[in-house]
Amino acid sequence: MAKNAIQFQPGMSLPAFLERYGTEAQCREALMRMRWPGGFRCPHCGYAGHCQLRGRPVLQCIRCKHQASLTAGTLFARTHLPLRIWFLAIYLLTPHKNGISALSLRRQLGVNANTAWLIKHKLMQAMIERDDTKPLAGIVQLDDAYWGGERHGGSTGRGSPGKTPFVAAVQITAEGFPMAMRMDVVPGFRKTALAQWAQRHLAPGTAVVSDGLNCFPGVTTADCTHVPLVTGGGPASVAHPMFQWVNTVLGNVKNALHGTYHALKPKYLQRYLSEFCYRFNRRFKLQDLIPRLIYAAAHTPPLPYRLLTLDGLAG
Ligand SMILES: [Zn+2]
């Protein structure tokens, strides 16, 4: 799809969204169809006949009376919010190229600051987990990047203290058109770190194009081939045609994050990077963004607060 065609394709309008997901009953129905596409079956006895309990997102088997929660096992588990508020959050969160802050979400949803933060971070986590199921393949441009400073030139170069390192990877077609991307925080740019990253996020047989940084050949342990490009470093290397996309998206993501989020904690950087990539990777089908994120949330396990705040996790 040409750039203009991507830019001007219609997303879902607010009236269209409200028509589809405006009531709690519609949201429950949508979630139920996503969780049980072949129709609800009682998890206890397998019977299909069921009724919905009044006022609660609970389905009851009419044979054995077993009660199944509509939200259990999903990102919406144990939520005190109506599903229509969650779905509205998804509507607000998905179309903005530069993301939407928890503060904006709070104002627009009429919830408190903590709730807005939780909604935002849970949905970003759903985006991470969804894209983690889709490894990049074919030809992938790879670059090292840092949050908290610019990579090229001066004392703010590679490995400066206080920077959070991450890998930026763009899958391109043979014609050089970008198809998909991912950005992942890594412990550092060592061969083993790159090997582990490649094993998780690249399909075997991927051809990796990168500059000559020592760690990049690490991808070969994940059955990928490595094509080093010696660009000489310095500002001139950015202009190298093979690095056009990876540098463009790096510039875009940094502008987007700086412009939308004023105090982004490094421990949450991954979620913000993944949110940006998630949207980029679905830019050909803006119409589907909302149902697809609802689907992702319905298939993302619940996130206890401890995990959501990353307390107790290394790094
Ligand atoms: Zn039953």
Residue with the larger pLDDT of the pair 261 and 58: 58
Q: How far is the CA of 70 from the centre of ligand 1 (A)?
A: 15
Asked whether residue 21 is domain-assigned, the answer is yes
Distance 36 CA to ligand 1 centre (A): 15
CA–centroid distance, 52 to ligand 1, in Å, is: 13
Written as one string, the DSSP assignment of 162-173 is: TPEEEEEEEEE-
**Six-digit token string for 16:** 């269209």
C-alpha of residue 29 to centroid of ligand 1, in Å: 19
DSSP letter for each residue of the chain: --HHHHHHS----HHHHHHHH-SHHHHHHHHHHHH-TT----TTT----EEEPTTSSEEEETTT--EEESSTTSTTTT--S-HHHHHHHHHHHSS-TT---HHHHHHHHT--HHHHHHHHHHHHHHHHHHHTTS-B-SEEEEEEEEETS-SSSGGGSTT-TTPEEEEEEEEE-TTS-EEEEEEEE-S-S-HHHHHHHHHHHB-TT-EEEEES-TTGGGGGGGT-EEEEE---SSGGGGG-GGGHHHHHHHHHHHHHHHHH-SS--GGGHHHHHHHHHHHHHTTT-GGGHHHHHHHHHHTS----HHHHTTTTS--
Residue range of the domain that includes 62: 36-70
16: left (phi over 0), alpha (psi -120 to 50) or beta: alpha
Instruction: Mark whether 17 and 121 lie in a shared domain.
Output: yes
Say how many C-beta atoms besides its own lie within 10 A of residue 142's C-beta: 27
Distance 64 CA to ligand 1 centre (A): 4
Higher pLDDT, 31 or 56: 31
* CATH code for the domain of 225: 3.30.420.10
Contacts of 196-202 spanning 24+ positions with Cβ under 8 A = 197/167, 198/222, 198/224, 200/132, 200/135, 201/132, 201/135, 201/136, 201/169, 202/135, 202/136, 202/137, 202/140, 202/169
On the 0-12 / 13-18 / 19+ scale of CB atoms within 10 A, 300 is buried
Q: How many domains does the chain have?
A: 3
Looking at per-residue pLDDT, the higher value among 262 and 290 belongs to 290
CA of 62 from ligand 1 middle (Å) equals: 7
Do 111 and 199 fall into the same domain? no
Residue 84 and residue 205 in one domain: no
CA of 60 to the centre of ligand 1 (A): 8
What's the gap in Å between 300 CA and the centre of ligand 1?
Answer: 25
Tens of pLDDT along 37-54?
A: 999 999 899 999 999 888
Please report, rounded to a whole number, the percentage of residues in the chain having pLDDT higher than 70.
87
Query: Residue 314: which pLDDT band, with cuts at 50, 70 and 90?
Result: very low
Centroid of ligand 1 to alpha carbon of 59 (angstroms): 10
168 forms bridges with which residues in the sheet? 143, 183
The position carrying tokens 């993301």 is: 99
Q: Are residues 174 and 202 in the same domain?
A: yes
Ligand 1 centroid – CA 69 distance (Å): 13
Residues 45 and 166 in one domain: no
Say if 30 falls within a structural domain. Answer: no
28 C-alpha to center of ligand 1: Å? 20
Weakest-pLDDT range from 73-77, 153-157, 245-249? 153-157
Q: Are residues 225 and 174 in the same domain?
A: yes
267 in a domain, yes or no? Answer: no
| Cβ atoms 247, 231 nearer than 8 A | no
pLDDT at 251 over 70: yes
218 plus 238 within the same structural domain: yes
The model's pLDDT over 10-26, given as tens digits with 9 standing for 90+, comes to: 778 899 999 999 999 99
For residue 96, being part of any structural domain is answered with: yes
The mean pLDDT of 255-284, rounded to a whole number, is: 89
User: What sign does the dihedral 267-268-274-276 (CA atoms) show?
Assistant: negative
Give the per-residue pLDDT at 287. 81
- How much is the pLDDT for 213? 78
Q: Mean pLDDT, to the nearest integer, of 199-213?
A: 90
Q: Are residues 177 and 194 in the same domain?
A: yes
Distance in Å, CA 303 to ligand 1 centroid = 28
Cα 80 to ligand 1 centroid, rounded to whole Å: 26
Within a domain: 157: yes
- Write out pLDDT tens, residues 141-200: 999 999 885 544 444 455 556 789 999 999 999 888 899 999 999 999 999 999 999 999
Q: Calculate how far, in angstroms, residue 32's C-alpha sits from the geometric centre of ligand 1.
A: 16
From ligand 1's centre to the CA of 33, what distance in Å?
A: 18
Ligand 1: distance of its center to the CA of 170 in Å? 48
Distance 41 CA to ligand 1 centre (A): 8
What mean pLDDT is predicted for residues 93-113? 88
Domain-embedded: residue 256: yes
Using the mean position of ligand 1's atoms as its centre, give its distance from the Cα of residue 58 in Å.
13
Residue 31 lies in a domain: no
Let me know whether 193 and 300 are in one domain: no
Tell me how far the alpha carbon of residue 47 lies from the centroid of ligand 1, in angstroms.
Answer: 5
Q: Does some domain include residue 147?
A: yes
Q: Ligand 1 mean position to 51 CA, how many Å?
A: 11
Q: 125 and 5 in one domain? A: yes
Alpha-carbon distance of 220 to 243, in angstroms, equals: 20
The confidence score (pLDDT) of residue 107 equals: 95
To the nearest whole percent, how much of the chain has pLDDT over 90? Answer: 55
How many other C-beta atoms can be found within 10 angstroms of the C-beta atom of residue 198? 28
Residues 48, 17 share a domain: no
Separation of CA 45 and ligand 1 centre (Å): 4
107 and 13 in a common domain: yes
> Distances in Å between the alpha carbon of 182 and those of 125, 140, 166, 235?
14, 10, 10, 23
